A and B are shown apart, each in its own frame.
Chain A
Amino acid sequence: MVLWILLVLAAGAAVYYGIRFEGSLKQRDRHAMIALSAITVVILGVQLYRAELLGEIFIEPFAFMGEAPDLFVQVLWQGFVDGTLYALIALGFVLIFKASGVFNFAQGIMVVFGALSLVGLHAAGVPAWGALVLALVIMGVLAVGVERIVLRPLVNQEPIILFMATIGLWYFLIGFGELIFGGEPKVMITEQLGLPTGRWRFDILGGRVNVNQLDVAAAAIAVLLVTGLGIFFNKTRIGRALRAVADDHQAAMSVGISLNQIWRIVWFAAGIVALATGIMWGAKSDVSFALAIVALKALPVLILGGFTSIPGAIVGGLIIGIGEKMAEFYWGPLVGGSIESWFPYFLALIFLLFRPQGLFGDKIIDRI
């Protein structure tokens, strides 16, 4: 059935492409493509209908939303919570991309490294809040180290070189982290940090909605961090310098902006974001190197929101978070489940069809 659905979507996309990009094909070819694609859509649609799949795809999930509104609200809430955390992770990528034009592949392992530092320091006897401060210092040292050892020697190199350097950083931090902290998973010091661990149960909408207090705290902290960093980088002098660096390294340096300082600041900000993500996600599961995988959930958010847009990261995170939960819950069982891992990419690609530059990205105009 997956094949059928994909064929319908592919044919639909072909129709759209034929209509939208009229200049890229000869008139006759364009008409032929639209006609053929439309026929394919109709044939496949009839097949789906005959197999009673149309109802399962387009009617039953929505009917179930009405039948069990408590579950609908629960799914929305879980999607919102995860979405805010995706936005937070994506923000880490966006900040570094804006400053250096590089996709920081090491963002995921920075999440693990930050969380392990915090838990490791606490296990060594440092009080929770002291460990938090020291973990922030470690992320600061990491930022300075990355700027001094990795980025500075690569100034004015191609972005792909910088990207490769961040892959190297990923492996270095994995090895270094395992050397220092070991490979065993740790328990996040949730209560010691004063984060709530209880649960509210609301008997509403003919059922129940469970809300973890930790999720509320996670969403609140994510919103605060995203807003704070957004304001910092949009409304301050450093923010303007960041935008200048993003536009042109050499031009920014020529007007006295310190590229190295900007890089240290954005890497530190990305480190703060990584630490916050590590705390929140570590509390939902455990603190292990598997957390690095979570950061890759931000990739479709970046595709959707654009690599340079802070609002894009926020809105993209929420769309992906809610979208993937809804898809897995309401449509996942139709195809045997486990669609959450690829559905965000599919959703992002659909958006890209209409906005190739991402939701909030600038329209790309190349003058020839």
Chain B
Amino acid sequence: MSFKKLALGIGAAGMLASGLFAASTPAQAEDTIYVPLLTYRTGAFAGSGVPIANGLHDYLAMLNERDGGVGGARLIIEECETGYNAQKGVECYESTKGNGAIVYNPFSTGITLQLIPKAPVDEIPILSMGYGLSATAVGETFPWTFNAPATYWSQMSAIITHINEQGDGIAGQKIGFIYLDVGYGREPIDLLDALAADMGFEVVKVPVAVAEMQSQSSHWLQVRRENPDWMIMWGWGAMNPTAIKEAINIDYPMDRFIGVWWSGGDSDLRPAGDDAIGYLSANFHATGTDFPAIQDILTHVVDAGLSQASRESVGENYYNRGLMNSVLIAEGIRTAQELTGKVAITGADMRMGLENMNLSEERLAEIGLAGFTNPITVTCEDHAGAHPIYLQQWNGAGWEAASDWITPMRDRVRPLLEAAAEAYVADKPDWETQSCN
């Protein structure tokens, strides 16, 4: 057999096998709930995407292995690779929604923006946990989208609060803002500008194009020239480790450099190692494995060979971020089951479950995550909740809590969110809103 024929044979066999696999995807039965996970384990942003995907998958897999699913319904977990690409993300959505999907977690602001208008049409809620369009926190305007525990704007306001509480306050100071020059990175700029005007500080913006993520020397020379009192970073993927190394190169003090909660991955800091000691990053959950639920993941999933994560990577910041997202999914399902009396819920039921979720301290303790995060409640009016955040600090090998819980400026942020929500629907006369009275 010639090489060409052999190669063609292997290719054809591979295609046939993949077709058979696709055909053999388990059909949804009455006691199952289909949970598609839009993840990205490949591409330029895989460094952040892989641990998140592992955490997302492993918590749900643990519930299946330990409890047989949620409320008697086994979870059918299916990942779809988006590559952090909006087009691929929409393709994933379209190809999986017909399987009975109850919720989507886009893990990309770009994909979230594409899915927001689709959610009410298909009646499948979007859970963009701590990312996406900040204005979707306004539940009356966006009944189908949730971004608990806090929006980007809440997070920015909490970071500004923290800076304001240091020394003589933020008035008169210069704040540098370096960001990935895409929708995600630009998202908090309106709020930052508004807060700067209100509180009397100056903002220096340093955008980084995607093509320049790994070539930021001139951007950081710009920072050196401006000499800001604090730096805030809205980075992602390869931008993060490069920015941290360049900040070190210009002798920028690490303990005055604060990253968004997407600029705090362990893999972001490892290349700089000890040189990055002191770097701060926002967060809304704990790191580490010192929680019964995470121990159960290690026992039932990782050690059982059902996870793609290595044992050492369990408990890292982004792993726990994905886990936290799956906690919200599971709690949304539980709440929906309680409210409807159903075992196998629909997307509409899940929307109701997310909107009435109350992840109290007691509930966190019940599920083996006491102290993992601040209690989270979602209401019809507020789909984010403006929950407190804290700052964590890099110690050369891992993260340590570096602040108490910081409450976002809800009074300042909420009117801006409402105005943004109103602006979003202004040119959409058929947009479906809801009344929360």
Contacts and interface: CB of A to CB of B under 8 A. Distances in A.
Given A284-B214, A286-B47, A338-B207, A183 B42 contact: yes
Contacts of B45: 290
Nearest to A81: B217
A74 B250 CA distance: 10
A199 B245 CA distance: 12
Interface stretch (A38-46, A245-253, A327-335): A327-335
Given A183-B50, A187-B270, A210-B249, A337 B222 contact: yes
Interface stretch (B88-96, B120-128, B236-244): B236-244
Nearest to A325: B218
A75 interface: yes
B211 interface: yes
Interface stretch (A6-14, A292-300, A349-357): A292-300
Interface residues of A, number: 42
A205 B224 CA distance: 16
A122 to B, nearest CB: 15
B209 interface: yes
A341 interface: yes
Given A210-B250, A285-B245, A290-B238, A75 B211 contact: no
Interface in B6-24: none
A285 B205 CA distance: 22
A289 B213 contact: no
Nearest to B3: A149
B222 A328 contact: yes
Contact of A212 (B46, B219, B249, B267): B249
A155 interface: no
B207 A341 contact: no
Given A199-B249, A336-B205, A286 B267 contact: yes
Given A185-B238, A212-B249, A68 B214 contact: no
A127 interface: no
Interface string A69-81: 0010011001001
Interface in A62-108: 68, 71, 74-75, 78, 81-82
B106 to A, nearest CB: 18
A297 B215 CA distance: 10
Nearest to B313: A184
B41 interface: yes
Given A78-B217, A338-B212, A332 B251 contact: no
Contact of B214 (A199, A281, A328, A338): A281
A290 B43 CA distance: 7
What bracket does the count of chain B residues touching chain A fall in?
A: 35 or more
Contacts of B50: 182-184
Given A286-B47, A293-B213, A329-B225, A75 B249 contact: no
Interface in B241-271: 241-242, 245, 249-251, 267, 270-271
A74 B218 CA distance: 9
Contacts of B41: 178, 182-183
Interface string B128-153: 00000000000000000000000000
Contact of B225 (A71, A281, A297): A71
A147 interface: no
Given A199-B249, A290-B238, A336 B214 contact: no
Nearest to A201: B251
B214 A285 contact: yes
A56 interface: no
Contact of A183 (B47, B213, B215): B47
Contacts of B69: none
A329 B217 CA distance: 10
Interface string B176-217: 000001000000000000000000000001111111111101
Given A185-B241, A289-B43, A290-B214, A338 B208 contact: yes
Given A184-B47, A284-B242, A329-B222, A340 B209 contact: yes
A289 B44 contact: yes
A289 B208 contact: no
B254 to A, nearest CB: 15
Contact of A185 (B47, B210, B212, B215): B47
Given A288-B46, A288-B47, A332 B218 contact: yes
A71 B224 contact: yes
Contact of A337 (B43, B47, B205, B271): B205
Contacts of A297: 211, 215
A291 interface: yes
Given A183-B50, A292-B44, 15 more contacts: A68-B225, A75-B218, A82-B215, A178-B41, A184-B51, A184-B267, A185-B241, A199-B249, A210-B250, A286-B271, A290-B47, A293-B210, A293-B211, A328-B222, A337-B206
22 contacts: A78-B217, A82-B217, A178-B41, A178-B42, A183-B43, A184-B50, A184-B267, A185-B46, A185-B241, A199-B249, A212-B249, A284-B214, A284-B245, A286-B47, A289-B46, A293-B214, A296-B211, A297-B211, A332-B222, A337-B222, A341-B211, A341-B212
Interface of B: 40-47, 49-51, 181, 205-215, 217-219, 221-222, 224-225, 237-238, 241-242, 245, 249-251, 267, 270-271
